[in-house]
Structures are given as structure tokens and as C-alpha cells.
Chains A and B, each alone.
Chain A
Amino acid sequence: MSTALAPAAFATDDAPSRRLKLVSGEEFGILVATILVILGAGTIADGFFSSENLLSIAQQIALLGIVATGMTYVIVVGEIDLSVGSQYGFLAIALAWMLHDVGIPIGPAIPLVLLLGAAIGAVNGVVTVLFQIPSFVVTLATLSILRGGALLLSEGVPLKGSADTAFRDLLAGHPLPNLSAQSVWMIGVMVIGGLVLAFTRFGSDVYSVGGNPKAARDAGINVSRVKVTCFALAGALAGLAAIIMVAWLGSANPLTGTGFELSVIAAVVVGGASLTGGKGTVFGTLLGAIIAGVLSNALVLAGIDGNWQQVATGALILVAVLLNKLVANRAARARTP
């Protein structure tokens, strides 16, 4: 199959290193950073490596990981969703309101909340693509609208969740001692979300649209539909996180999720996604969420003033972005013949 001009020895498509088969070069950098952060946390904080503590980190990052999976799709497709924190708070209130004020049983209420989340996300997407408004602005508006909606619906006070024990056990119980159901849900969402993004036609379209929307359109990809689907997915996953939260805490607070969008975006960006679109993976986002979770856990265990957590998180974002830039530049130089 090779010609004289391109001898087989010249082509190296099928001989990537083992490491490249598992994770790409850029993800490898994040993986190394994650391991370093974990080792560093283990040295400054006693008891960090106990299984109890590690599983509690997994529980703490579960909702972050679920919402950040949806955000990964939105960012890779070249958009942003600032309203996920408000969606999460609003959908939690909506669930409690359906259960108590409307009287819908928990069984049908769960799919209704997921659908409502998808619909809210789809509205974000449709307004963005139809009127060609930057999603930053559209979702900034929905951030405010949904927060107001949550406060209006709940009259500003926390609402009771469901007393259904099966609901609680399924979404926020303990399938194994110390292992919380939230973590299992996160792993499920991230495995499926990661497979779809990496290995399906739709995932491929998400990368193409995010990388060059005009080229994608020229190639016959329905750019608007791909973008709206990503927003809808992010909304549905914010709904899932809201349901799990209500099951876990047994109540819904209209202020839940205030500022959550920043942690979510941070996890995605630390995980190597580019805000200009076309780049990022769910696995990277998982690493981003783990780094954030480990950092705040270690600071607590080490007895450091909680206000330092915010400083550390901000510094982490900056360092991650700088490292990504460095890796990308080196990779670009290596590619140039």
C-alpha cells in the first residue's frame, strides 16, 4: 500500500507507544499532574490515603463530575454554559415542588426533571445558534432567570425532598460500606459520556464542530443540531445531579449551586479542554475534578484555613492552563518537520 514516495518505514500510523494508546500526550501531562497532587496531598495530610478518605473524596466530587461531563461536551463543541449551577439549583427545587406542591410521585418525577433539564439546555442552545448570540451571554441570562425561578418557586425557603427510601438508597445510598451511590453514578455517567465522545459518530461531530464550524458545515454536519444536543445533554446531567442531591440531603435549597458553574468549568479546563473548542476529553475532566477534590480535601485534613482553598483553586486553574499551553507549544514544535 505504500509507494516509493512514502515508504512504509516513513509512515508510523500503527506504531504509537503503549502510553499513547491509553491516553493522548496532553492527557498524559494531566495524569502526571494528578498523581503529583495526590502524592503531595498524602505527604502534607495524615490519613489522606485511608480508603475511607479516598472514597469520601469520590463522594465529594461526584456531582461536580456529573455536571462537568455535560460541560465537557459544551466546551468541546466551542460553547460555554454559565447556567449549569442555576440549572442544578432550579431543577432540585422543581423536583421538590413536583413532589409536594403538584403531588407527582417520585417515579415519574425523576424522568420529568431530566427532561426539564434537557429542555432548559436545549433552549440555551437554540437561542445561541438561532440568533447567533455568544453562548456566554445567553447562559449568563439563563443563570439569572433560573436562580430567580428557583427562589420564586420555593418562596425563598428550602423545600423538603422525598421520604421514599428506595429513592434515597438508589441515588445516594451505600452499595458497599463507605462507597456512596453518588460516586457510582458519577463513574457510570463519565464512562458512558467518555465513550460516546471518543468513539461515536456524534462525538466525532462534536470535535469537528468545535474545531472548525465552517469546515463541519461544508462536510454536511448539522452544526446547529450538534450544538443544541450538547447543551441539552448538559441540562439533563444538571438534572441528574439535582435529583441525586435531593435524595442525598432530603431537601432542596433554592441557593444550591450558586457559583457551582465556576468549579465545573475549572474541572473541564484543568482537564485539558480548550475554551476555543475542539479539544478536551471526559477522562481529562475526571482528572480535573479529582485534582480539585484532592486539593480541597488535603487542605482541610492539614488544618489550613478554609479561605486558602479558594486561593489554591484559582492558582490551580492558572497553573493548569499554563502547563497545557506549554505542552501544546512543545507538541506543535515537535510536529513541524
Chain B
Amino acid sequence: MSALLDVHDVTKRFGGVQALAGVSFSVEKGEVLGLMGDNGAGKSTVMKTIAGAHRPDQGTLRLHGQPVTLRSPRDAAVAGIAVVYQDLALVNSRDVAANVYLGRELTRFGFLRKRQMRAEAREVIDSLGIRIRSVRSQVGGMSGGQRQCVAIARAVHQGGELVLLDEPTAALGPEQQANVLDLIRRLRDQGTTVIVVSHNVEHVMDVCDRVVVMRAGRVAGVRRVAETTATELIHLIMGSPGVTPPPELVAQPSPSTDSSLES
């Protein structure tokens, strides 16, 4: 496997806050990479840097080995990086097909090719195994899980080679979480590279190949999921490698200890 994206020694400062203090990691082509960390660890800043929303103060990003400068989210999109933020950016009053094609509608002689857009939207939805009865249904009437899936389908359809998912399973019920995790596996099966930003250790262990754990603006550790444990990941996140956490914390993270671990 070769690196699709190389993040090399990236630093970013906001006023007096050192958000990123030399972050390096790579994303292999075709893998699902988890990006974990407590609130304020810097994972959002990393994500926004890759998405073109922030420019690093120092350090470089390499795509396919070539250095890239992402001045805007548009640049990132052109480079094949698609981001699905938590707000999903869907137009609730419009149907699935319109949302999949948002801003990139197909036209002929100035008129929309609605039939073709519906057919292709259906094809994308089906190829990702998303259960949606009709691509003519309004997105606003759908479940959170379906909406998440529509947003991901758009990211893939609009040419995302590297898809960044920001907390894709937060605020979903268990069944919908399972659907979204299935979708992530299917993306990998199709050869799409995925970065999942998540608080949820269980979901990351479930769906990712590797995990990058951040703490205080640095990479605290990179682990293969097959070779690590939830306990070790929680250690890395909390920054207490010497201490063995009580088993109940590993089994079911308690909100009183750290609510952010819960999902």
C-alpha cells in the first residue's frame, strides 16, 4: 500500500493557543483511518486542515506523494478530498437526488436532466447499500442515519477519493449507527479511503484499520486496530499510559469520568 495522504510536521496556532504542535501521520490508500482524541486534542484542526478550511502555519500535506497547498475547501474538493461535517449540509426541503447533485446538477440546453440525475443517484445509493425507498423523498423526512448516508453518498458521488467523516455516528440510535458503520466498510470495499473522526472507541475498533490518537496538539500514538485494545486506546486518549484504567471504564465508559468517551 502507498500513502494517499501524508501529513508532515504540521503546526497551527490560534492566537495564544498551540492547536497543533508538529503533527505527522499518513493515510494509506484504501484504508479506514480513525482519528481520535479528547476535546481540544486537535483532531478538528487536523481535519479542517486536510479539508482546506485552515492553512497550516508550518508543515506540508502530500497527496499521492506530491505536495499540495489547499487554500480553500474548493481546492480540497478539486483534489478529491470530500468532507462530511456533522451538520451534513443537506437541504431538507429537497429530495435525495437533488441533494446528491447539489451545486453540480446535470443540464442539457439549460434544462435539468432530472431523470438521469435520479437514476444515477439511485445507482450510487444502491451501490453503497443504503436503504432509501425513493430518491424523490425529501431528505427532511428521513432518519438521522439515512441523512448521514445521503451526505456520504454525495461526498462519494462528487468525486471524493478521500472522504473525511466528522463524528458520523454521534447522535444516532444503535441500529442507525450500525447502518453507518456498514456504509463505511462498503466504502472501503469500493476502494475509497476514509478518515473517521470519532470519540467512540467501540466504533473505531469496529470499522477502522488503523487509529491515530491525538493529545494536546500532538500524535500520541498510531496503532493497528488488530494489534491494540480499547484499553490501550483510552490510555492514549487520556494520556495516562502508566495507569491501568479500572475495567468498568473500559467496558462502559462512565460519563462522570469522561463523558466524551461515550459517543
Contacts and interface: CB of A to CB of B under 8 A. Distances in A.
Contacts of B129: 3, 5-6
Main secondary structure on A side of the interface with B: loop
Interface string A184-210: 000000000000000111011001101
Given A201-B105, A220-B74, A335-B142, A11 B93 contact: no
B91 A201 contact: no
Interface string B104-144: 11010011101000110011011101111111111011110
Which of under 10, 10 to 19, 20 to 34, or 35 or more describes the interface residues of A?
A: 35 or more
B230 interface: no
A204 B105 contact: yes
B136 A204 contact: no
Given A211-B93, A212-B91, A335-B142, A10 B131 contact: yes
A214 B89 contact: yes
Contacts of A12: 133-134
A278 interface: yes
B175 to A, nearest CB: 11
A212 B126 contact: no
A277 B74 CA distance: 26
Given A1-B123, A215-B89, A331-B141, A200 B134 contact: no
A23 to B, nearest CB: 14
Given A1-B123, A218-B73, A219-B103, A6 B130 contact: yes
A3 B126 contact: yes
B183 to A, nearest CB: 10
B92 interface: yes
Given A13-B118, A337-B143, A215 B131 contact: no
Interface of A: 1-3, 5-6, 10-14, 16, 199-201, 203-204, 207-208, 210-212, 214-216, 218-221, 274, 277-279, 331-332, 335-337
25 contacts: A1-B127, A3-B129, A5-B129, A6-B125, A6-B126, A6-B131, A11-B122, A11-B126, A11-B134, A11-B135, A12-B134, A13-B119, A13-B122, A13-B134, A13-B136, A211-B91, A212-B90, A212-B91, A212-B92, A214-B87, A215-B88, A215-B89, A219-B103, A277-B93, A278-B91
